Amino acid sequence: MRIRPIARGDLDELQALARETGVGFTSLPDNRDFLAAKIDSAIAAFEERLPANRRNYFFVLEDEGSGRLAGCCAIEGEVGHEVPFYHYRVGTLAHSSVQLDLHRTIDTLFLCSDHTGDAEVASLFLRPAYRGGDRREQRNGPLVSMMRWLFMAEFRDRFPDKVLAEMRGVFNEQGRSPFWDCLGANFFPLDFDEADRLTGLGQKSFIGELMPKYPIYTPFLSEAARACIGRVHEQTRPALAMLKKEGLRWEGYIDIFDGGPTVEAYIDDVRGVRLSRRCRAEVVSGLAAPAGRPRWLAATTVMADFRAAWVSHGPDEEGVIRLSPDEAARLEVESGAPLRVLDSEEEG
């Protein structure tokens, strides 16, 4: 299993991935023209033919054995420059009456664009067949999640100070969002799937045009809708846990459609960015892999030819990391090539 930039030949597999993501996964709609344009944009980003703040780096997890795409993820250079990037900010208003000797605090939702200019890690998805069972030892989820920090660390000057991740919110057994049904549906003449589809296609202007600009008092929402605020979809829990381990935290921002949390951090404070380091590869024939699951993640240092994969050994005291011929082929490197590596189990 390895991570690489998406290529034009991946369109069919990418559309197959899009069909499997399910409701609420706005960044990967099942629209072939949109996906083809997304691939073209990603190629231009990796080739640095776009300004850094307009780049969307899109990666795929490749199963070398079958040639299938097992998953994907992305990094948005900066959000909110071409189209507004909206959230609800969860706040509090205090009310008091001296005459009645009463004091109350009420939770509110403010429509805002506070994250404009931040980077975003997004579009993380693994096909079900690659999430568990015998493949668990391959650690596909952590590979797809953590490689983004190695990429950002290696090309740190292409990114701003902060990074965020939007997490999919709660949906019931019928695939409906209680938060949307109680709030968004009152302002948009659309069902959730259609609003979700338009957002995924980048058509977001209707949000600012139709949503109320004044605070929304959460006591006016249903109990089911209030219970969605800051909570994640069941399938999103592992991704949220990995982001929390890296140091991203919820600071009170939620998705305006499903109420899912947005977590954030300063990039230089993220564990994977702080602890990753440069070393030099040495290809060794007959190198034996240690027992147990892999813990070292290695990535190449040329943006257009970026590769990332688990490797069996970490660097020695002289900064040399030994690779088997298979590992070197997977990363497409030779002896002497620079690599950025991360011990996935090192405490931050």
Q: What is the pLDDT of residues 36-56, one digit of tens each?
A: 999 999 999 999 999 999 999
Q: How far apart are the first and last CA of the chain?
A: 26
Based on the residue annotation, tell me whether 313 is a catalytic residue of this protein: no
- CA 189 vs CA 179, 186, 194, 195: distances in Å: 16, 8, 10, 9
Mean pLDDT over each residue of the chain, to the nearest integer: 89
Of the candidates 187, 231, 236, the one whose C-alpha atom is nearest the C-alpha of residue 212 is 187
User: Which H/E stretch holds residue 111?
Assistant: strand 102-112
Choosing from 81, 87, 115, 233, the catalytic residue is 233
Task: List, in order, residues 6 or more apart from 261 with CB less than 8 Å away.
Answer: 167, 169, 230, 231, 232, 240, 250, 253, 254, 255
C-alpha to C-alpha distance for 296 and 316, rounded to whole angstroms = 12
Of the candidates 276, 270, 265, 271, the one whose C-alpha atom is nearest the C-alpha of residue 298 is 276
User: With bands split at pLDDT 50, 70 and 90, how would you rate the model's confidence at 347?
Assistant: confident
Percent of the chain with pLDDT over 90: 60
Percent of the chain with pLDDT over 70: 93
Report CA torsion sign: 268, 269, 270, 273.
positive
Among 52-56, 178-182, 234-238, where is mean pLDDT lowest?
A: 234-238
Q: Which pLDDT belongs to residue 338?
A: 97
Q: Which pLDDT belongs to residue 136?
A: 42
Instruction: Compare 288 and 37 and report the one with higher pLDDT.
Output: 37
- Please state the pTM of the whole predicted model: 0.89
User: With bands split at pLDDT 50, 70 and 90, how would you rate the model's confidence at 23?
Assistant: low
